[in-house]
Structure 1
Amino acid sequence: MTSAETKPTVIVGGGFVGLFCALHLRHRRYAEPIILIDPKDRFIFRPLLFDFLSGELSDEQVWPRYEELLQGSEVEFVQDSVSQIDLKGRSLTTATGRQLNYGHLVLGLGATQGYFGTLGAAEHAFAFRDRDDVLKLGKHLLQRLQQASQSRDRQQRQDLLTIAVVGAGPSGIEMVALLADWLPLQYERLGGDRQEIRLVLVNRSPEILKGDANASLHDLVLEELQQRQIPIELLLGVAVEGVTAEGLVYRSTVEAEPQLLTGTVIWTAGVSNNPLLAELEIPASDRNRHGVPYVSPTLQLLGYPEVFAAGDCAVVKEQPQPGLAQVAYQQGAAIAHNLLALSHNHALSPAKVSLRGTLMGLGIDNAVANLLNRYRVTGKPGAILRKATYLELLPTPLHNFKATVDWLSEELFHRHSGGQTRSLEQREIGISRAIAITIVGLVAILGGFFATRLLNEPRSPQPQPSPTQLAPPAS
């Protein structure tokens, strides 16, 4: 057995929490070996999945390979799933049978797609959480458009072109707004009539964004949804009871048909815990009502101070945070800081999360940036700010700089070029647009750069009580 001094720090999950924790540790010369485990070979940047679906961003920009991101870091990446965690024995077992003993463990497991037990949803609805989901949905939608363009049967075209999006949170709204701009363009290229496309946003609550961090954007979003290429129908206050190959079966509080006929249902409502969380040897009193483990303000698992957890697989009892990428990003950095403090026998610091506002796409070249919940940037400038900010959040400076430059190059020299025969007026418009894109883009890039520098800046630990005196309190 490996001695306690050389036992690695094992990070389970390569999302925002896990990957950024590993990168911060290596950047600050953490002495212990680091092993990062994830079943996928690529980092998935979920906020930009919509941009990949529409073709605005490429594979390499949205989901870079871990091998590329960790190159030269000495972090050992293991592409595998963890099947069992023994908290008392400080060990874990992977799906391929590998057993690892750890000195410290970081859980960044994330969540899985949830369906609230809805009959047939997992089998017949399209999820939208990873690369395979996006590729599958994109292929399906293009096939439906192709079939509709070749059909002379009006009813068949209606069935093919009716699309339901379940869930009116940010993901559902971004999805339906994007489809309302993107699908008409694709269908018209095939010779179809855009007016035949029907998009329906379905939600259990009678209000969109209810209880969400973006709730204050309710009125703005409702207005934007009706200004898309295709007006979006709202089916609110209904409980979806089943999904079939033919459509949705639902229960409504108002008089309405109990079924929506559609061959395309996209599910963005809710998430489920990673199955590993239920198997952790912790009492029910140390979990919330959804079964998610509580952690201390320092992000340590209650009763197991050598284990850190954050993101969707943990909740700080005293100060729960929304499930946002910016929260997980900051928590990953906070865990890295505390692991470094432990390695130097210094006291740990509570994780401080600063919500800097929200970003939401509202169609092609359209978004709202709600900065610090005080300032709103909408339309094309909002879309530029959203994309540039997200690209700058991508792991490692080299990758995020390359991704941002590639995107700006596409914006400036391809998407808005009209050939050599453009009129003087068109050229002037193009130049003005290029200048605006460059200015706003550079501001966002510089802001992201300095924010990243700030997070990566080593903090000088101050003499404080030994970490052994700071074990998480009992619940």
Structure 2
Amino acid sequence: MNPPSPSVDRPRLLLIGAGHVHLQLLRHRRRFGKAEVMLVDPGGFWHAGIAAGMLGGQHDASEGRLDPARLATHHDVTPIRGRLASLDPETKQARLEDGRTLDFSLLSLNLGSSSPCPPPSSPGPRVWAIKPIPRLLALRHCLEREFAYGSAPRIVVVGGGASGVEVACQLRELARRSGARAAILLVTRDKRLLEGAPAGAVRWLMRHLARQDVTVRCDVNVTGHAPGGVTFTAADHAWGEDSLQWLAADHVVHAAGLAPLEGLERLGLPLIPERGLAVEETLQSPGSPDVFAVGDCAALIQRVLPKLILHDRHQAAVLADNLSARLTGGSLTPYVPRRVAVTILDLGGQGLAIHGRRWWGGRLALAWKRRLDRQILHRLPT
């Protein structure tokens, strides 16, 4: 049964997706006055900041998981369990995968992102993506079973950015906690790890990985999966019929960055290729002033958001301003993201903090990350 259509005297604000920004937005519920507010939740919220630590066994799965429906109800927001299938911005109707349609006066999309992952080969290695986050929990359980039976799996982690580095280190931490052995290889298509990070930080990281017995190979472009491993091309051998090479693997974890969700083109909204839904500085979709997009699914037209910086709190405040302005006829506020913020990697017992050209590594950096993660979870409405 579809929810009732919004009446003329009571507009409906429809929030689709229970990401960080929308959960932060619940705190601003009173600013929307008599408007009906609904939150479409696909099922559970996971804080990405502790996902790597969960993989390594340092966090329980329940530590970073919240129930958006309970939070919504507490803040006088109607929760709806479902996933968006299509959108008609002109008639202001959203259609869910189960066939329900929802009318709206204002719409905000906080749909998240995906982790690109080539299709598996059969026979071939087990293939894992880092998103959605429950896949990391499934990987942990799978490896724990293998460790319990005395296996020493060969694991290839694809991606030399922060996610790939964290995953490789947490896999080593998981093996250590299980008293088991595992061969862990971290590969990247770039010429070094953490492109854009200070050179000193990268040197410190390489020494740390060597101590953790994590092998690193750069200039390796993984092209697919094959029986017993992965295929790749290398920068020094990239041409000719024999350019394709092979690496042995029992498990392959793809952590080479984030990409827009599949199916965004069905929403009838402007897109920026490989970045997501186009939005103005007011977070509005061009040509659809009553449609907003935030978080990983949104791409500012005027600038590219810095990676690995949490924008949720500031975005939620600006989104609240602008949704309220659309309801009352006020002026809108531009969203200006922070250019520099602290990024802290959880390396399993050690942390690596980077702030612009400054950096520091060690246990204190990890303790700081733990504190920041607790603060982020504490800021979410309860």
1:13 corresponding residue in structure 2: 17
In the alignment, structure 1 residue 226 sits paired with structure 2 residue 229: no
Structure 2 SS opposite 1:376: strand
- Relative to structure 1, the CA distance from residue 291 to residue 127 in structure 2 (aligned partners, 3 Å threshold; closer, same or farther) is closer
Partner of 2:377: 394
Structure (1/2) with the larger strand percentage:
2
In structure 1, the gaps of 5 or more residues are 150-156, 189-193, 400-475
Q: Which amino acid aligns with 1:66?
A: P
Contact 2:116–2:129 under 8 Å retained in 1: no
Percent identity between matched residues is: 22
Structure 2 gaps, min length 5: 238-242
Matching of residues 321-470 of structure 1 within 5 Å: 321-324=305-308, 326-371=310-355, 373=356, 375-394=358-377, 396=379
**83-92 vs 229-238, which moves further:** 229-238
User: Structure 1 residue 396: deviation in Å?
Assistant: 4.3
Partner of 1:67: 69
Partner of 1:431: none
Specify the code of the residue in structure 1 equivalent to 2:215.
Answer: E
Contact 2:55 2:171 in 1 (8 A): no
Q: Give 1:304 deviation, angstroms.
A: 0.4
Per the alignment, residue 33 of structure 1 pairs with 36
* Cα distance change of structure 1 residues 81 and 47 upon mapping to structure 2, 3 Å threshold: same
Q: Residue deviations 1:390-426, cap 9 Å, x none?
A: 2211264675xxxxxxxxxxxxxxxxxxxxxxxxxxx
| 2:164 matches 1:172 | yes
Provide the C-alpha distance between the structure 2 equivalents of 1:325 and 1:108, rounded to a whole number of angstroms.
16
Specify the alignment match of 1:203 in structure 2.
188
What whole-Å deviation, never above 9, does each CA across 1:101-155 have from its counterpart, x for those lacking one? 100000111212213x5664999411122342122101121123233x3xxxxxx
CA distance in 1, matches of 2:45, 2:346: 25
Query: In structure 2, do the counterparts of structure 1 residues 132 and 289 end up closer, same or farther at CA, with 3 Å as the change threshold?
Result: closer
Q: Deviation of residue 324 (structure 1)?
A: 3.8
Query: For the residues of structure 2 that align with 1:316 and 1:245, how far apart are their CA atoms?
Result: 41
Contact 1:106 1:309 in 2 (8 A): yes
| Count of matched residue pairs | 371
Change (3 A) 1:208 1:264: same
Larger radius of gyration: 1
Describe the SS at the equivalent of 1:346: coil
Moved more, 197-206 or 295-304: 197-206
Give the TM-score, by structure 2 length.
0.88
Structure with greater helix share of residues? 1
Q: Deviations over 1:31-55 (max 9, x none)?
A: 3111111211x21111211122223
Seen in structure 2, the aligned counterparts of structure 1 residues 381 and 202 have a Cα distance that, compared at 3 Å, is: same
1:270 aligns with 2:257: yes
What's the counterpart of residue 261 of structure 1? 248
Contact 1:90–1:101 under 8 Å retained in 2: yes
Please give the TM-score of this superposition, normalised by the length of structure 1. Answer: 0.72
| Contact map agreement 1:225 1:231 (CA 8 A) in 2 | no
Amino acid at match of 1:63: R
Change (3 A) 1:227 1:291: closer
Structure 2 distance, partners of 1:232, 1:216, is 20
